[in-house]
Structure 1
Amino acid sequence: MKYSLSPLLFVGLALFLITPPTMAFDQSAADKLDERFRDKYQEVKVKPHWISPHEFWYRRPAAEGNEEFVLVNCQQGETKVFAKRSELPNGLRSPWRPDARQRTSVPSETSPDGMWKVEQRDHNLWLINTENNEESQLTTNGEDRHGYEPRVFWSPDSKKLVAMHVKAAGDRRVYLVESSPEDQLQPKLDSYYYLKPGDDIELRRPRLFDVESKSEIEVSNELFDNPWSLDELLWDAESEFFTFYYNQRGHQVARVIKVDSTSGEVTPVVNDEQPTFIDYAHKHFAYYLNDTDEVVWMSERDGWNHLYLIDLKSGEVKHQITSGEWVVRGVDFVDVENRQVWFHAGGIHADQDPYYVHCCKVNFDGTGLVVITAGDGTHEVGHSPERDYVIDRYSRVDMPPVTEVRRTSDGELVATLEQTDIEPVKAAGWQAPERFVAKARDGKTDIYGVIYRPTDFDPNRKYPVLEDLYAGPHSAFVPKGFSSIPWLQRWAELGFIVVKIDGMGTSYRSKAFHDVASKNLVDAGLPDRKLWMQAAAEKYPQLDLSRVGVMGHSAGAQSAMAALLWHNDFYKVAVAGCGCHDNRMDKIWWNELWMGWPIGPHYADQSNVTNAHLLKGDLLLIVGELDKNVDPSSTMQVVDALMKADKDFDMLVVPGRGHNTDTPYIIRRKRDYLMEHLDATTVHPLEAEQFEHVDSAEVQ
């Protein structure tokens, strides 16, 4: 809505004339949120005590410090309130536990029939007949750092065994100096084992042996010659074959491989390949079924994270269990008897935020999908003893928790149990964070974030914008559930409008959305973040985009500094704590997963060290001298490069601290730095032309 010259304009001009150019700001306002709000917010957390498959009771507070007891009949959808526990029926039952009958194979020294035993000697294996103690040397090629594990995988009929031949990983160590130990005057030297990208890793190879002939059955390793990991080794019930999970180094190939126990023939019964990466650390799920030689397998092969039922004998995909433009966030349990999968999903309600988690179930053949939860928010559930009902608690950042009972057969609402009252918190000045959505760099994809304003927010002034940035591809980071005292609200109280955004390259959306991070961590979704803030400022001119700061920790620190290297036309100030500023310096598993292997020139091209000469803006680096998560030298190499480039910056080295440097002193220094360099204590009234774009109904 546009205004011509109006009372709003004159109010703005008056404020400009009468407001002093600066104001003293009390940092303690940020720390008084607990005092202001904590005692005014009380959620009733429903902890059910099931007394039958369809009835439970729970406690809730009552007047004058008392409590009352609520009895819930799920069949009738009725609740009754009792003043005393002793009026309630007896018969408490333990919660139901999911079926866990998937096929397993545990390595052991002794065969299932007890007739054979394996011993490790000088890195090799010996086979011993337990009846007559006759010994035979089974392997001869074991040596130091490339020998056999002492326990083996026996076939159920005890006629075959699989031994793991293992080549040890490299022995890189990182060294730290504790400058100020509490128990002595002199510094201490410490070291720890820490592989980095490109280092030699442990190599595992399964070798198949016939027990009766005491000879090896040759198994070609052509399909698994470069393992990052090789595990989940399982025999079938008839001892005809065994399978194992193979994750190739570089994380672009994942297979379940079947080996015939007689011929040694190798077949890939499950084969996933991606030109970017396979997120094995967060999206790998395999449930092997005992009686049917099947596996429930998780894959992004169709562009979304879904479940498949695969025949382990033929490798045939029998059914795609889940499908659609939404993602399986995780499997809760597999019901073998009823051939169902219970899981939680994101984006399954197309009209809701795609990051909201919902509870679902579906048959192995893909039929009978039931989305059990419905409310517009993110959900967490507990199941009744017979799985007929769920206790569903859901909320949003701008909506306090609601607790319901729902039927799992059809997702229908049985009863609403509790709705949290936040009117007392609102009366004390609490403001809800605002959910905000804008388009990504492609002009089509929705980017989701949250805006936090000071509780004394003045719609007639402009505020510096502070982004809390973390863009690790392993997850998504914008809060979705309710908090009466959000952590970022404490920063808003300092005089910022604070934003939190999930740009492209983070998880829980489509594979294409995620793939933006592939060999491209420097991107960090920054182009999407800028567009999001520009869209927010178009709607809310109180966001002053001439004063944008960013703070981040660990991988977030890498991205925060990168913002001042590649996007310093937009970002002006950055605080970067314990950053992995060069992906060659950080832990091997995280960086090879997203940046790939072998180590290519893109590692150096994206390094904050290599590009330190591009720095513009105000940068505060923080590092703990005892950080064992990220090598502190990663920060020191940035310092060296900045000095060589004659760049000004600020730095805090924290003695005695590791990856978490947030002492009260460090928190104060971060606040001071951002407030000073973003000019947070100066009042910037909206100018006349900006009032023309303000719709008072849109301003909180």
Structure 2
Amino acid sequence: MIIYATAKKSIVFILLSFVSAQLLAQQARLQPYAPNAAEVADAYQLSLKMDTTLRNIPTNNDIIPFWKKDGTAFWYKKNLPDRTWEYYYVDAATGKRQAAFDHHKLAQNLEKVTGKKQNPLKIQLAELYFADQGNTAKLKIQDKWYELNLGDYTLADIKDTTIYRYNAKRPLQQRRSRWQGNRQSKKSPDGKSEILIRGGNLFVIDLATKAETQLSTDGNADKPYGEFAWSPDGKNIVAYKIDPKEIKKVYYVLSSVPGTTRGELKSREYAQPGDDFTAYQPYVFNVSKKTAIKVDADPIDFFGAPELHWRGNSSRYYTYEKVDRGHQRFRVIEVDVLTGKTKNIIDEKTKTFIYENRIYTRYLPKTNEILWTSEQDGWQHLYLVNVLTGKQQLITKGNYVVRDIDSIDIVKRQVWFRANGMHADEDPYFIHYYRIGFDGKGLVNLTPEKGNHNLSFSPDRKYYIDTYSQVNVPPVSELRLTASTKKLSEIEHGKTDAYLATGVKLPEVFVAKGRDGKTDIWGIVCLPSKMDPNKTYPVIENIYAGPHDSFVPKSFLPASEMQSIAELGFIVVQIDGMGTANRSKAFHDVCWKNIADSGFPDRILWMKAMAVKYPNADISRVGIYGTSAGGQSSTGALLSHPEFYKAAVSACGCHDNRIDKQWWNEQWMGYPVGPHYGEQSNITNAGKLQGNLFLIVGEADENVPPESTYRLADALIKANKNFDILSIPGMGHSDGGVYGRRRKRDFFVKHLLNAEPPNPNISK
């Protein structure tokens, strides 16, 4: 946890006092919004109508291009109002955009050959491919293939259904998850031998003679050898002596399975914090010499057997990654297969945590280098590591976050990556795309316009499409040249007219200082479309404070559940407080062994500052809702900050980090499981409940065990606390679905507006 100096606390106290005085002065003349039954009923109708209307207006936040194999053109599907669409064709060299075909002519001829009525703006094409110079196209409609002559629009059955497939959204080089582990191959590189595990021991079989060579003798059923890999020259085998640990199970009962009269018990493996893990001790076996060398390294007791990376063309040295349990040490370890000796190529340690899932390692065997990301200088940056010497060279530098590596050009020695926070004049969470030399020189911003970007390349990477927007600024899609980033044409440019015509108020971005008095905290505000300037409205926060990411939307968002709730007479907000990801290491470290913090000190300050700018916001009536980790936080708001939050809806919450999944909770709460786990548990603190709480849980939740919510309910009952609970038969990890969301709205209307929601049990 970050400890803040007394001077900083004084600044925050003065700021709070100033904000409170301003707020009281502004709100003195306003009256609370207190709707009667008819007004509540009208608000529900408006919310439903507005939500439907908005969702029928297309955003086109993302264009999915389908490229020709030669990269000279692409086509895409453009969404139109009322769930209709058209197809467009773009010549890449000129940037010229035109209708991919005459939609009416195609619909007419499709009716003739299929015998089914066709709407020109709803042609259902399962596949579309322009194979030549634009004279013909291959179409797949349902399970039938046709060739379309674009001169006379005749359709002919075809047998050759081969088309070029290219996913423009897929990164050029995919990152394998460490959870995938080692890639096993039984056959030797020359295909002449095969590995066999029998009785827990390692054998090699000559496939021609069927002769067997036993390489280990000390394995058994309890501690077998396994998870093997051949060296590239086939002379050695890396295998592990395994100390297996059974993963414990969790259970739930399906109460309402159709056609049954009894509940159905379900179980599955589910590791929780502190549980034992299978351990893997690496060995190197020489096939011809029949020798075994125990690798000079501790067993791998976290994750599984790792993927191996061999040095250049060598079969003598390989590296593997090791994450220590507790996430405070990460290593890339090199092994000499002739001696079993090891050395650390990368050895990173921290007093808080290393965000394991954000470590990117790309191995460059031809040059004996590794591209690696680390937060060792306080921000997530790229490093080039020499495998032979261990020397590290910083590639990117500054107060910004490298989010991902897209691709690596070994010839030009360039890395292509995504990052956020490089531009001081915009939202630090906006994602941009860049390329830079391995030497840290020649940085090029591929996405220069202000906004949150989504980029895709042509197959030859000569062109790219950049789509960008902001939460209240509609998307623009541009075709650009990769070499120079020159804009060739604007493919699409969204407008707000259709949205504003409905009366909706687009979300507004608001920024305020956090608990330290200097860090910017970003969030959005959703206002009711019929807000009376002379009234104040309760504030509801949509919370998700999971440390694994940031969560406030950054792309165009005219329709959302937040806006739907706002239409009932609320001001709905979403905020990324300290402890979430995608900012500095110090910003993120607030969550360390401190998930219960949930960024509340920043959130409360943000809402108090927001209420000064928006005097219609009544922060004496604040509600909060969230799902999963957000369910944990929303309940925690009433337990730890009852002076500010008055009502909470918590769906499938992780109410005790000891009950939830091991890999997520140990990442942020640490290992071993200490007393801080229990001290921060909502279950432990249930007796502190003030305000109104509504719990929602699906009985079939396979993400967060349902007993997390039921144990909280048990603790609340034992503490003699009033609360509401909704258990939904058969539902998994969810906010309750349509029914749960309706009940959530009803709860806030009742407890924050002091009004009665429409009763569906009363016939109209």
TM-score, shorter chain, exceeding 0.5: yes
**Structure 1 position 31 matched with structure 2 position 31:** no
Aligned to 2:399: 325
**Structure 1 position 316 matched with structure 2 position 333:** no
**Structure 1 position 400 matched with structure 2 position 437:** no
Aligned to 1:297: 372
- Distance in 1, matches of 2:91 and 2:187, equals 52
Mapped contact 2:256–2:730 kept (Cα < 8 A): yes
- Distance in 2, matches of 1:231 and 1:258, equals 12
Mapped contact 2:59–2:475 kept (Cα < 8 A): no
2:597 partner amino acid? D
Displacement of 1:56 in angstroms is 5.0
Aligned to 1:566: 640
Q: Do the aligned partners of residues 249 and 289 (structure 1) sit closer, same or farther apart at CA in structure 2, a change above 3 Å counting? A: same
Mapped contact 2:57–2:80 kept (Cα < 8 A): no
- Distance in 2, matches of 1:499 and 1:593, equals 28
Aligned to 1:390: 464
* Structure 2 residue runs without a partner (length 5+): 1-24, 104-129, 138-163, 757-764
Aligned to 1:3: none
Displacement of 1:414 in angstroms is 3.0
Q: Do the aligned partners of residues 389 and 20 (structure 1) sit closer, same or farther apart at CA in structure 2, a change above 3 Å counting? A: closer
Aligned to 1:637: 711
Aligned to 2:194: 117
Q: Which stretch of structure 1 is more off in the superposition, 336-345 or 188-197?
A: 336-345
- Distance in 2, matches of 1:444 and 1:642, equals 38
Aligned to 2:155: none
Mapped contact 1:56–1:73 kept (Cα < 8 A): yes
Mapped contact 1:60–1:70 kept (Cα < 8 A): no
**Structure 1 position 141 matched with structure 2 position 156:** no
Q: Which stretch of structure 1 is more off in the superposition, 569-578 or 203-212?
A: 203-212
Displacement of 1:515 in angstroms is 0.8
- Distance in 2, matches of 1:63 and 1:32, equals 15
What is the CA deviation profile of residues 43-92 of structure 1, one whole-angstrom value per residue up to 9, with x for unaligned ones? 49655455665655667689999968564454x66667897599975699
- Distance in 2, matches of 1:548 and 1:126, equals 67
- Counting aligned pairs with the same residue, the percent is 43
Show the 5 A alignment for 1:618-657: 618-657=692-731
- Distance in 1, matches of 2:287 and 2:200, equals 19
DSSP-derived class of the 1:24 partner: helix
Q: Do the aligned partners of residues 537 and 101 (structure 1) sit closer, same or farther apart at CA in structure 2, a change above 3 Å counting? A: closer
How large is the Cα RMSD of the aligned pairs? 3.2
- Distance in 2, matches of 1:399 and 1:597, equals 44
Q: Do the aligned partners of residues 145 and 669 (structure 1) sit closer, same or farther apart at CA in structure 2, a change above 3 Å counting? A: farther
Displacement of 1:304 in angstroms is 1.0
Q: Do the aligned partners of residues 661 and 73 (structure 1) sit closer, same or farther apart at CA in structure 2, a change above 3 Å counting? A: closer
Mapped contact 1:41–1:424 kept (Cα < 8 A): no
- Distance in 2, matches of 1:49 and 1:657, equals 37
Displacement of 1:384 in angstroms is 2.5
Q: Do the aligned partners of residues 230 and 274 (structure 1) sit closer, same or farther apart at CA in structure 2, a change above 3 Å counting? A: farther
Displacement of 1:514 in angstroms is 0.8
Show the 5 A alignment for 1:196-235: 196-222=272-298, 226-235=301-310
Aligned to 1:557: 631
Q: Do the aligned partners of residues 350 and 217 (structure 1) sit closer, same or farther apart at CA in structure 2, a change above 3 Å counting? A: same
What is the CA deviation profile of residues 171-202 of structure 1, one whole-angstrom value per residue up to 9, with x for unaligned ones? 31112122222221122222111111101112
Q: Do the aligned partners of residues 88 and 139 (structure 1) sit closer, same or farther apart at CA in structure 2, a change above 3 Å counting? A: closer
DSSP-derived class of the 1:28 partner: helix
- Distance in 2, matches of 1:169 and 1:266, equals 26
Q: Do the aligned partners of residues 597 and 18 (structure 1) sit closer, same or farther apart at CA in structure 2, a change above 3 Å counting? A: closer
Q: Which stretch of structure 1 is more off in the superposition, 408-417 or 25-34?
A: 408-417
What is the CA deviation profile of residues 304-343 of structure 1, one whole-angstrom value per residue up to 9, with x for unaligned ones? 11111111222121x3222211111111122223222111
Aligned to 2:343: 267
DSSP-derived class of the 2:40 partner: coil
DSSP-derived class of the 1:664 partner: helix
Mapped contact 1:390–1:405 kept (Cα < 8 A): yes
- Distance in 2, matches of 1:255 and 1:527, equals 35
- Distance in 2, matches of 1:18 and 1:316, equals 64
- Distance in 2, matches of 1:595 and 1:83, equals 57
Mapped contact 1:654–1:661 kept (Cα < 8 A): no
Mapped contact 1:105–1:235 kept (Cα < 8 A): no
Show the 5 A alignment for 1:52-451: 69=88, 71-72=90-91, 74=93, 89=134, 106-149=183-226, 152-222=228-298, 226-236=301-311, 237-281=313-357, 283-317=358-392, 319-451=393-525
**Structure 1 position 504 matched with structure 2 position 578:** yes
- Distance in 2, matches of 1:118 and 1:559, equals 50
Show the 5 A alignment for 1:520-535: 520-535=594-609
2:286 partner amino acid? D
- Distance in 2, matches of 1:18 and 1:439, equals 29
Q: Which stretch of structure 1 is more off in the superposition, 76-85 or 536-545?
A: 76-85
DSSP-derived class of the 2:591 partner: coil
Displacement of 1:94 in angstroms is 6.5
Q: Which stretch of structure 1 is more off in the superposition, 546-555 or 645-654?
A: 645-654
Show the 5 A alignment for 1:460-539: 460-539=534-613
Q: Which stretch of structure 1 is more off in the superposition, 306-315 or 519-528?
A: 306-315
Q: Do the aligned partners of residues 185 and 352 (structure 1) sit closer, same or farther apart at CA in structure 2, a change above 3 Å counting? A: same
- Distance in 1, matches of 2:258 and 2:99, equals 57
Aligned to 2:670: 596
